[in-house]
Structure 1
Amino acid sequence: MSDHVLITGGAGFIGTRLARRFVDSGHSVTVLDALIPQVHGEEPRTTSTLLHSLDGVATVIEGSVTSSDDLRAALDGAGIVVHLAAETGTGQSMYEIDRYVEANVGGTAKLLDILANEPHTVKRVVIASSRSIYGEGAYGTADGRIVYPPHRADADMAAGDFDVHMAGEQSLEMIPTDEHAKLHPSSVYGITKQMQESLVMTVGPTIGLEPVALRYQNVYGPGQSLKNPYTGILSIFSTLIRQGKAINIFEDGLESRDFVYIDDIVEATFRASTMPAAVGRTINVGSGVATTVNEVVASLFAAFDTEVPTTITGNYRLGDIRHNVADTTVLREVLEYEPQTDFRTGVARFVEWVLTEPIEESGYERSLKEMTERSLLK
């Protein structure tokens, strides 16, 4: 049965593609988006290609999830809500704390408050959570136990020791993190994502909603913001490569992430929004493969067919994790989905798109200066 779908934050990288996926399957879509300049530029109605990609696809309401009136207008007739709206960026969250909490936690609270106290047609709410809520994630000990190490110490990293340590354990090996892992986020962003997820999964069943939480890993692909310096290293490094600027690799370049291609995120989110089996479930959405920063740089050089100087600086950001890779068992079993795009293929598609875009200043250097001034980058 076709539903009307509200996608909050739906004019962004993920939301625009998700809107088309719903429409192609017979649904109608409303998008609520604040069109912030950090993502869409100063004149989004004129210059944002993401926004214009929704022409003829979705009804777009320019507004904020921090406004109850905007939410009420956007919720009209919706049967499914996909709640993507959030301020993103681990580093920035550590010094723009009020903005992140207001948008991410406050916006989610306002949404649920309306659904709890006012007439509506919503049946399901899908919350876009994040791998950041795991902190360092799961590790295996020498004798086969699974442990969840604390956040890395500033003193260790200042001495060039970037590995994860835990009292009483001589050696630790990163393993895939499943949905039952300890939640101990290491950034304000991670804390807000945990609170968003907890609010939806706790309140939803008590007011007759079907909640689903998707813990996205590091999403990348065509359409990702090249202006936003907090959007991810693929965009940041791509802009530096096109500008002919050197790349500074933090820590030792061996820190790793689970990079998941945009099409896989969209398909998993669509299934989570429509499949009965997803109700009440928390699901990792990732590739299940760990890729180091050094491997990211090598893949980008290969895709661009050019290189720029690189320096492994030993710099580090407080709040960053060392490793994380998702256990995707639940994704396969519940949503019956296996990610389709490997990293090399995804990077090639991403770079092919990047080369069609204008070269713009990303604000990356400014973001590093801001973090350094606050002693968050060392």
Structure 2
Amino acid sequence: MSKLVLITGGAGFIGSHLADELLAHGYRVRALDNLAVQVHGPNAGRPDYLSPEVDLQIGDVRDPAAMRKALEGVDAVYHFAAVVGVGQSMYEIAHYTDVNNMGTAVLLEALIERPVERLIVASSMSIYGEGLYRDPSGAVSPGVERSLEQLKAGDWEVRNAAGEVLHPVPTPESKAPSLPSVYALSKYDQERMCQMIGRAYGIPTVGLRFFNIFGTRQALSNPYTGVLAIFASRYLNDKPPMINEDGFQQRDFVSVYDVARACRLSLELPEAAGEVFNIASGRQYTIREVAERMGRALGKTHIVPEITGKYRVGDIRHCVADISLAREKLGYDPRVPLEEGLVELSDWLEGQQAVDRVEEARAELALRGLAL
């Protein structure tokens, strides 16, 4: 009989695509998901996009009984269940810590009683904080977190002690964590707890540090989801995307199809055990450029992105990925460029409705002094 794989958070954006990838390669798939309102909307049931072959169990990762039930007969686990969002994590501190940290603890205690062949945990680029940088002399060093005084003055660049502007270079897994938000802290906690307990109890474990993932099935009405989904929500409501700072922040955008394949390779390759990998495209784009590309893909070129000149506490300037380790050890090769992915995404978006909550979320942050 084929192996049974559990995906926590498996009814969501990434989990459902991974389920498709695993099913196509002969695995059986079970998903444990609480169908959270912020992601799935009120009165949500089984998502239409979730393959009927997936055994969906509705439950919370913090519920030990639900977790034990979900693990029955399981050979491997992908731990994707988490609440996501840098800004929101800075005021819903207890909620983020409860779901992300405690949910992981509940899973791990269940796995101690019932070990699996492999555990793969979704980590995040957010744990790096600012990525690596090069100064004018050519020396490479970690980026320094920008002060609130600097941000209030509208000086967006990362600078060294001499005040010189630093330029981003690809960030490898060896960079020490720098945790600028509660969300980043909780993702690092998930990653380290899984590796720690996996090593202690003989459960081969892999950490995957996802960069900015784009694709179909993202929650368009969730103002704390991926930036492309947030931009899409604005365009679909004939409003301009709102871009913080000057729009020249650099990020790495990776297709959910490439992510799903990397996840499968992490399960299948023995040499992946014990490792942590950046999963990204290896290409960088400015946020301004991505917003404009999205507008063209949706036929909304008459809507010009709004450069706000404002900031949000916990945000970083630049972080782009070095994916050489994943290439070497996983045989990972990203295949879907942003340009191609945006075409499919725009086709899917035409049939979607999005409740635009971006300004509401910005007001919430501003009220708490977390955004200007």
Match of 2:91 among 82, 89, 95: 95
Given that 1:20 and 1:57 are in contact with CA atoms closer than 8 Å, whether structure 2 keeps it comes out as no
Match of 2:315 among 295, 300, 320: 320
Given that 1:160 and 1:314 are in contact with CA atoms closer than 8 Å, whether structure 2 keeps it comes out as yes
Q: Which residue of 2 aligns with 1:340?
A: 335
Given that 2:234 and 2:356 are in contact with CA atoms closer than 8 Å, whether structure 1 keeps it comes out as no
Q: Which residue of 2 aligns with 1:172?
A: 166
Q: CA deviation at 1:168?
A: 4.2
Given that 2:101 and 2:190 are in contact with CA atoms closer than 8 Å, whether structure 1 keeps it comes out as yes
The RMSD of aligned alpha carbons is 1.4
Question: What is the alpha-carbon distance in structure 2 between the residues aligned to residue 279 and residue 227 of structure 1?
Answer: 36
Question: What is the alpha-carbon distance in structure 1 between the residues aligned to residue 2 and residue 356 of structure 2?
Answer: 40
Residues 240-260 of structure 1: CA distance to partner in whole angstroms, max 9, x if unpaired? Answer: 112222333210010121110
From the superposition, tell whether residues 207 and 144 of structure 1 become closer, same or farther in structure 2 (CA, over 3 Å): same
Match of 2:218 among 207, 210, 224: 224
Residues 18-65 of structure 1: CA distance to partner in whole angstroms, max 9, x if unpaired? Answer: 1121112111111000100111111211xx6xx233352211111111
Given that 2:213 and 2:256 are in contact with CA atoms closer than 8 Å, whether structure 1 keeps it comes out as yes
Q: Which residue of 2 aligns with 1:65?
A: 61
Q: Which residue of 1 aligns with 2:198?
A: 204
Question: What is the alpha-carbon distance in structure 1 between the residues aligned to residue 282 and residue 87 of structure 2?
Answer: 24
Question: What is the alpha-carbon distance in structure 2 between the residues aligned to residue 237 and residue 171 of structure 1?
Answer: 29
Q: Which residue of 1 aligns with 2:234?
A: 240
Which one is further off, 334-343 or 245-254?
Answer: 245-254
Count of equivalent residues: 371
Given that 1:9 and 1:33 are in contact with CA atoms closer than 8 Å, whether structure 2 keeps it comes out as yes
Q: Which residue of 2 aligns with 1:18?
A: 18
Does residue 43 in structure 1 map to residue 43 in structure 2?
A: yes
Q: Which residue of 2 aligns with 1:254?
A: 248
Q: Which residue of 2 aligns with 1:144?
A: 138
Which one is further off, 268-277 or 309-318?
Answer: 309-318
The gaps in structure 1 that reach 5 residues or longer are: none
Given that 1:78 and 1:121 are in contact with CA atoms closer than 8 Å, whether structure 2 keeps it comes out as no
Q: CA deviation at 1:365?
A: 1.7
Q: Which residue of 1 aligns with 2:371?
A: 377
Question: What is the alpha-carbon distance in structure 2 between the residues aligned to residue 219 and residue 247 of structure 1?
Answer: 18
Alignment of 1:342-357 (within 5 A): 342-357=337-352
Q: CA deviation at 1:77?
A: 0.8
Q: CA deviation at 1:275?
A: 1.2
Q: Which residue of 2 aligns with 1:79?
A: 75
Compute the TM-score of the two structures, normalised by the length of structure 2. Answer: 0.97
Identity over aligned pairs, percent:
39
One-letter code aligned to 1:312: I
Match of 1:154 among 122, 125, 148: 148
The gaps in structure 2 that reach 5 residues or longer are: none
